[in-house]
Structure 1
Amino acid sequence: MFRFLSISALLLLTNTRTAAHQKPYFKPTKNYIFPSTSIDGIARIDTKIGNQALDRPYITRHNSSSYEWWYFDAISSDGQSSIVITSFVSPLDTYENQSGLQLLVQIVSPQGGLYDDTIEYDKDEKLYISTKGDTSNGILNNGDFSWIGKSDLSEYTLNLNLPKYNISGTINLFSLAKPFVGCGPAQKDANTSIFWFFNWINVIGDAVAVVDIAVGDQKVAFTGNGYHDKNWGPVSFIPYVHHWYWGHGRVGEYSVVWSKMFLNDNTTKAGGWISKNDKIILSACFENDDSVVIKPLGNNITDPPKKANNTHNIQGFDITINTGNEQGIFQFQLKKNIRINGELGTYARWIGNFTGGQLGEEDSQIGVAVTEQMGPFVF
């Protein structure tokens, strides 16, 4: 129903939405249109949260190498279905006749993958983004994809309307966690850089997700876990990164996000975020140590991976996070239900059951999680 929604109508709709626990905001409302006029030379990259919306664009004018995206996902509570939507501005592989805008949609059900592709947009097709408070609101190409967030980041409503691909529906995310940057809390002067070429803000580390999507005559409807983050940088990370792991899950009272990036120069940086009932236990980065260990499980697995197309035997992951404080060590395990293989074998995703907790006090409940391996970017 949002296909012909104008940007002014979106702003009016956003202004009329209220949150029960909404606080007053004094951050300026801003509007952006992409693609913007490209520049030669170095693109200006914001790496501080500052006094503007947390979920805003951090690159307002791109050059030929800069990139930025808004990422959303949801996993069903049985670990059998998932949806991923990513809206790209000036992504890593823009072609000459295109605007740089892309929309990645991946929909998985117990019957397998229903849709997994990236839609390319021409130069006359636009992405409109507005901000209010800390949130962003976006409309891509007159409503192919739109998102509307509450100004306190408590809720996002996503709408897909892709008649060409027989896809339509909505996703609601109700946040269960406070936002954070890659290496700590999302405070005013927080730095968003993981490495100089890669910035990360986690807008919603965990959420209750309500999904109602139709793909042709097949319905994908579930409740489960939701998530939203964003990344950006001045140049492609592919020449610098060998591989990385990332994932998020919930089990019992714990919400967890983990990541570990391995560079070609043997540098590593890991991130660990753990929340219990909306109280942050850990939000930190660790460089060149084993505070965060992500170990793939299965037969005939090479760890670390040496080549692409080498993820078929992975049946799950052990995730160990040493907080380095009085909370001690947390151990979690993801057991694969479904594996999704990406293009060229340099990307794979697993969704499945998630167990664990604080060492010695592991929760007996079973939750769900998703994790990814990107790379190795060598062939």
Structure 2
Amino acid sequence: MISSRKPFDGPKVTPVNSTTFDWWYFDVVDKNASQSLTVAFYTASNTALAFLPKLGSLNFVHVSGILPNGTTFKSIIPAIDSPVRTVGDGSSGSWEGAGFSWKGSPSLDHYKIKANDASVGYKGVMKLKSAAPAHYPCGPATRGISEEVVPGVGWANAMPDAEGEVEFDIGDYHMSFTGYGYHDKVSKVHFCVEIHVFQLPKLQQNWGSRAFYDSVGTWYWGHARLGNYSIVWFDTLDPQKSEYVSAYVSKAGKALTHQCSGLKVRPTGENSTYPPVLSTGSSSGYSIEITLPEEGKLLVEINYLALATNIGREYERYIGNVSGILNGISLGHGAGLWEQFKVKESW
């Protein structure tokens, strides 16, 4: 998978078959890590992504998040069709019959995700304004760069960081906040294994050339804002326990690195077994070490505040606080969203 003249955020697998998949992922996490919203558009079979339910359609939208009171919600909404068009490097898509769509600018500067699904109760908009330049796993958004984050799985990170705005109805609840946004096309598990219509109580772009489990044994992925630094990390083990990493750091909108080396992500505190297995519980947090080409070593600690969504024992997505030190100097505190995926009983 080598980048070409084709649009950066356009479809990567056409047509999708029983072992391939393609998706577009968007999220916003509140600046205080008190709430989040994620919307992901999929074209995939449940043989390519093994946990998927049999929906009768290859096209579906996964919506998930957490409210300030700690209530989580998640839904899979099947679609009839999934046309995607491109202008410049940007993409726009409509998952017809699901009530969800997105529209991106040619330069990847702006994205708007809209929902109007009366049957499930989702209605509203997510707006993203880019705060950091796009990249591939090991380099900038240019031709001739490897798109693989792990063999068989491609990743194109159109918005490593963004100014996010959410106005979204979930049933009778109105979610309204600003925060740190993100958009990619990459082979991460942003799906849910159960079809669930959210109800408020009484008071979680990727693509792949083969089946997901043929490429991934476990991984840690996430993004965070820390002062004027934007950080994205990917630390993955394939089924044979070979490690693949990708680290991205920008400062005040200027990329400092997009590298496939010099990154180490490890769980900390409770349930910090590495590599994790299916019986491993939620860790208290993670430590991240990034060796920057010129600026030195960046040390980041992320601490889990809330579980935003999960897929059984295999997948968990969190929101929480982030702190960092660069060459011994504190960068203060921020917020982020991250995930852990594990599929093996033992290594």
* Counterpart residue number, 1:139: 94
* Counterpart residue number, 2:33: 79
* Counterpart residue number, 2:255: 280
CA distance in 2, matches of 1:308, 1:293: 21
Q: CA deviation at 1:55?
A: 0.6
CA distance in 2, matches of 1:129, 1:140: 9
The counterpart of 1:185, out of the listed 140, 151, 176, is 140
* Counterpart residue number, 1:201: 156
CA distance in 2, matches of 1:242, 1:88: 21
* Counterpart residue number, 1:26: none
* Counterpart residue number, 1:338: 306
* Counterpart residue number, 2:286: 317
Cα 1:140/1:259, change in 2 over 3 Å: same
The counterpart of 1:264, out of the listed 224, 235, 239, is 239
CA distance in 2, matches of 1:242, 1:188: 29
* Counterpart residue number, 1:294: 265
CA distance in 2, matches of 1:133, 1:331: 36
Q: CA deviation at 1:143?
A: 6.2
Structure 2 residue ranges without an equivalent (≥5): 186-205
Cα 1:377/1:100, change in 2 over 3 Å: farther
CA distance in 2, matches of 1:169, 1:96: 27
Matched position secondary structure for 1:342: strand
The counterpart of 2:107, out of the listed 140, 152, 156, is 152
**Stretches of 4+ moved more than 3 A in 1?**
93-97, 376-379
**Residue deviations 1:224-259 (CA, integer Å, cap 9, x gap):** 000000011121121342210000000111000011
**Residue deviations 1:321-356 (CA, integer Å, cap 9, x gap):** 112x22110011112111135222100111011111
* Counterpart residue number, 2:67: 109
Does residue 239 of the first structure (1) align with residue 207 of the second (2)? no
CA distance in 1, matches of 2:231, 2:31: 15
**Residue deviations 1:273-308 (CA, integer Å, cap 9, x gap):** 00001111111102xxxx312122223532221x21
CA distance in 1, matches of 2:330, 2:259: 22
1:107–1:115 CA contact under 8 A, matched in 2: yes
2:271–2:284 CA contact under 8 A, matched in 1: no
* Counterpart residue number, 2:339: 372
Higher relative contact order (CA 8 A, sep 6+): 2
Give the residue type in structure 2 aligned to 1:310: T
TM-score (norm 1): 0.81
TM-score (norm 2): 0.88
Q: CA deviation at 1:376?
A: 3.2
Greater Cα shift, 191-200 or 156-165: 191-200
Matched position secondary structure for 2:83: strand
Q: CA deviation at 1:95?
A: 6.8
Cα 1:205/1:97, change in 2 over 3 Å: closer
* Counterpart residue number, 2:202: none
* Counterpart residue number, 1:249: 224
Matched position secondary structure for 1:345: coil
1:101–1:120 CA contact under 8 A, matched in 2: yes
Greater Cα shift, 185-194 or 217-226: 185-194
> How many residues in Structure 1 have an aligned counterpart in Structure 2?
322
Matched position secondary structure for 2:57: strand
Matches within 5 A, 1:9-158: 47-91=1-45, 92-93=49-50, 98-121=56-79, 125-142=80-97, 144-158=99-113
Q: CA deviation at 1:158?
A: 0.6
* Counterpart residue number, 2:329: 361
Please tell me whether Structure 1 or Structure 2 has the larger radius of gyration of its CA atoms: 1
Give the residue type in structure 2 aligned to 1:315: S
The counterpart of 2:179, out of the listed 205, 224, 233, is 224
Q: CA deviation at 1:199?
A: 0.5
* Counterpart residue number, 1:162: 117
CA distance in 2, matches of 1:161, 1:218: 15
Matched position secondary structure for 1:274: strand
Q: RMSD of the TM alignment (CA)?
A: 1.8
Q: CA deviation at 1:195?
A: 3.0
